[in-house]
Chain A
Amino acid sequence: MKREIDARGLACPGPVIAAKKAIEEAGDCVIVVDNEAARDNVCRMARSQGCTAKVGEDAGTFSIHITAGGGPGKTEAVVPSTGPTVVVFPSDKMGQGDDELGTVLIKGFFHALGEVSPKPDTLIFFNAGVKLTVQGSEVLEDLHSLEEQGANILVCGTCLDFYGLKEKIQAGTVSNMYDIVETMLSAGKVIRI
């Protein structure tokens, strides 16, 4: 008998957190939600954890059947797991060229990151990239949503200090070069923005 979690009526990110807990504790489980956003978010999180998610719908209620990763020996074949995906942000812009355009692109990048899957496991911000994680950043909402879905966000402490932004950090955890280097070296792939 699979564990069944009734997440109807829970505000975002309640259903995702409840589902994550159920997967960690019970493995296979069924999450019941009452809206499409919760359905999509729970499915995305489950897949990011290497699980499969199948959705049944009945009169506006969605039952998401989650099968824990590695189950029936097929997850591995479908998703070749070679280690975590790490995305690094050395700048608060996307690409080099026009700064205004680079700012728009990075905002678009974070929005799209929230919409697609699979999600990166870790995001690392250093040099001017740390500006994306502090008060006034226009991508904070997206960063918080990624964190809620399980992404690990590392922010270079040296860099925050250099820019005088240490007190203003609003997303992620202040990290150091050892964590950053270890995370990069143990990654399946590192994507530099």
Chain B
Amino acid sequence: MTSEDPYLIALFPSTSGALMAEKLFKREGIPHKIIPVPRHISSDCGVCLRFSASERQRAETTLAGKVDIQDICPI
């Protein structure tokens, strides 16, 4: 990560949504990491997908119409 390309996280309404999104990211070759939802965002035991801000466009296109996204926000 550099200051010009910070990480974003995509949050999903369900764990299965996060799993589906991970599969789609893998298929598209979008670098990502599945991580627990940071404590300052939610105290639930959820998982989310972390990726570089520069991949935002590709990430959104990849998930559009396939997985419901709850939010995409900086980590």
> Which residues of A are at the interface with B, using a C-beta cutoff of 8 A?
100-101, 104, 107-108, 111-112, 141
Decide if B19 touches A108 in the complex (CB within 8 Å): no
Instruction: Give me the interface of B with A, judged by CB distance under 8 Å.
Output: 15, 18-19, 22, 33-36, 47
Whole-angstrom distance from the CB of A143 to the nearest CB of chain B?
A: 13
> Whole-angstrom distance between the alpha carbons of A112 and B46 in the complex?
12
Q: A141: shortest Cβ distance to chain B, in Å?
A: 8
CA distance A100 to B35 in the complex (A): 15
Interface Cβ pair total, 8 Å cutoff = 23
State the main secondary structure of chain B at its contact with A.
strand
Most buried by A among B18, B19, B33: B33
A100–B36 Cα distance when bound, in Å, is 15
> Which listed residue (B18, B19, B22, B36) contacts A111, Cβ 8 A?
B36
- Chain A minimum-CB-distance residue to B46: A108
Q: Can you name 16 A-B residue pairings with CB atoms under 8 Å?
A: A101-B19, A104-B19, A104-B22, A104-B34, A107-B33, A107-B35, A108-B34, A108-B35, A108-B36, A108-B47, A111-B33, A111-B35, A111-B36, A112-B35, A112-B36, A141-B33
* Chain B residue nearest in CB terms to A111: B35
